[in-house]
Amino acid sequence: MGKATTDNAIDRPVDRPSEATTVADIPSEVMKAAEESTLRHDAVTFLDYVGAHTPELAEDKGLKTKDVWAVNDLFAECEEIQVEIEGEAVTLSTEDEVCRVGFIRRLLQSAGFLKIRHGRLSPTRRATEFLKDDYFSQLRWLFNIWWYEVDWTLDAGDASASTNIFQGDRKKLADILLSLPTGMGVAYRELEKTLLKEFGLSFLIGKTGADLQSYMNISYGVVQPLEIFEAITMDVTGDFETLQDLKLTLSITELGKTLLSRV
């Protein structure tokens, strides 16, 4: 998913959403979904770990392998460390490779919740404020950080150019995503066509050579992070690796509607 941001701070971290626009009139099912959010849980877990251990960072300012593994093991949704790539057994060891650890590190770094001092990572006073917040406000704060501050091209691999276009008009993107149905989903290809058309990329529609590229643009940069936030659900059939007979169906969740309608 790309390397974690490792700057000491960012210039304009998104402020905490005001109380008047967070918990007021939030449906109970959304509040419960926020409480049970594995992303929110794992972000809090990351901060708790850093606060307890102030881990020493590697030369590239990423977490050392032992800390990547330790944090991943504590996550509610941890990733497999031992994987097979092109028939060979591989052990994942960095934030770049253990994608969820890297994604959450970027969120927390971009929020101004982490600082680096004397080669060690620790939480900031801003993180203390976040940890005292209610569940929905915590999740909304993280979502807004991703929406406004995190560079989506870090999650889009080689598909960065078009992902920048999507992030360049977030209001249009939010309106399109909010048009997704709840319950009964819409085919991924239909969403893809809508996004490509609305963002001036119609020339990619129907071109088989661009299928993988356009898939990466939207999937890795937009759809997968939304799925991590549980803002959408995605059902997959077919061969995900080769895209042969691949069919993806997307639905927006009530939590997703609430978060996107408030960005």
Residue 9 lies inside a defined structural domain of this protein:
no
Task: Dump pLDDT digits (tens) for 109-140.
Answer: 999 999 999 999 999 999 999 999 999 999 99
Q: How far apart are CA 156 and CA 62, in angstroms?
A: 20
Q: How far apart are CA 185 and CA 232, in angstroms?
A: 10
Structural domain harbouring 38:
19-149
User: HEC string of 48-113?
Assistant: HHHHHHCCEECCCCCECHHHHHHHHHHCCCCCCCEEEECCEEEECCCCCCCHHHHHHHHHHHHCCC
Asked which of 132, 149, 166 is the last residue of a domain, the reply is 149
Q: How far apart are CA 21 and CA 140, in angstroms?
A: 10
Residue 140 lies inside a defined structural domain of this protein:
yes
Of all helices (H) and strands (E), which one includes residue 232?
strand 232-237
Record the pTM. 0.85
User: HEC string of 121-167?
Assistant: EEECHHHHHHHCCCHHHHHHHHHHHHHHCCCHHHHCCCCHHHHHHHH
Task: Dump pLDDT digits (tens) for 188-222.
Answer: 778 888 888 888 876 666 655 444 455 556 777 88
To which residue do tokens 């819409």 refer? 186
The CATH number that applies at residue 221 is 1.10.10
Query: What does pLDDT average to in each consecutive run of 10 residues of the chain (263 residues)?
Result: 40 54 78 96 98 95 96 96 89 93 94 95 95 94 93 65 76 92 80 84 58 60 90 79 70 94 89
Residue 242 lies inside a defined structural domain of this protein:
yes
